Structure 1
Amino acid sequence: MTETSALAEWIFEQMADAAIYADRSGAIVRWNQAAATLFGHSAAEALGQNLDLIIPERLRPAHWRGFEAAMSSGVTRTHGRATLTSAMHKEGRKLYVEMTFALVVDTDGKTCGSVAVARDVTARVEHERDVARHGGAV
């Protein structure tokens, strides 16, 4: 392993935010420690699994339409902007996460897969909903 590739590995693994790389088929290839903490699945449990592992069932059809469109067109709908979405923890509880997505392209310009970086915003979203429900009296 070169010094540069070792550094890239250390950065990926030690990021504070969850980082997930999935190949063109949607299989999880990389899953950092922050992803394990956020979603409750160890890397050993997540690697090789489909992204449905963390996608709520009701969101799966829309996710896969967008994923497949991005893989074939080479363009994401969000263009790197953070997106608030729902996700699932291993224990079945609902999470709210802000995610950014990027396509990973090889030196020939071929899309290899997608990387997502996620941050848990569950507490913030639930607080905002409580405030909205109770007219600011939380």
Structure 2
Amino acid sequence: MIDETITKAIVEQVAEALIFATVDGKIALWNRGATLLFGFDRDEATGQSLDLIIPPHLRNAHWAGFDAAIRTGQLKLNGKPTLTRALHKTGRKLYVEMSFALVEADHGILGSVAVARDVTERIERERAGAAR
């Protein structure tokens, strides 16, 4: 059995951004990968709405999907990664590949966890090549 110390170390040291949000969309877990990707320190992000990293034009769609997943217990993409846009602390728009899972316990859904990686350079390179 893996103890809590090892679990915490894995969460903190994994290269990808790992974000857990409660059912009301508030950030409750933000690892070092999330800080590196989005620019916000853990203390800045924890307790904030996920709107912190969601571009304004995508918020309505995000919240519709988030609320539906929390309500029904079903994810639209069943955990498959998806390409989306996100915001860096500086306001710079990022391309991120994210996958999502619902976090459940005996008494129901606790929230959602997202794993994200920055793919901005790859997407911009691909789009520059396609434009030629």
Task: State the TM-score, normalized to the length of structure 2.
Answer: 0.97
1:27 corresponding residue in structure 2: 26
RMSD: 1.2
Q: Which amino acid is the alignment partner of residue 113 of structure 1?
A: G
1:103 corresponding residue in structure 2: 102
- Distance in 2, matches of 1:38 and 1:56, equals 15
The alignment partner of 1:16 has SS state of coil
Q: Which amino acid is the alignment partner of residue 76 of structure 2?
A: R
Q: Compute the displacement of 1:68 (Å).
A: 0.1
Q: Compute the displacement of 1:76 (Å).
A: 0.7
2:38 corresponding residue in structure 1: 39
2:117 corresponding residue in structure 1: 119
Instruction: Output one character per residue of 1:15-38: Cα deviation in whole Å (capped at 9) or x when no partner.
Output: 110000000000000000010010
In structure 1, the gaps of 5 or more residues are: none
Q: Compute the displacement of 1:4 (Å).
A: 1.5
Count of aligned pairs between the two proteins: 132
Percent identity, aligned pairs only, is: 53
Q: Which runs of 4+ in 1 moved over 3 A?
A: none
1:84 corresponding residue in structure 2: 83
In structure 2, the gaps of 5 or more residues are: none
1:11 corresponding residue in structure 2: 10
- Distance in 2, matches of 1:50 and 1:60, equals 11
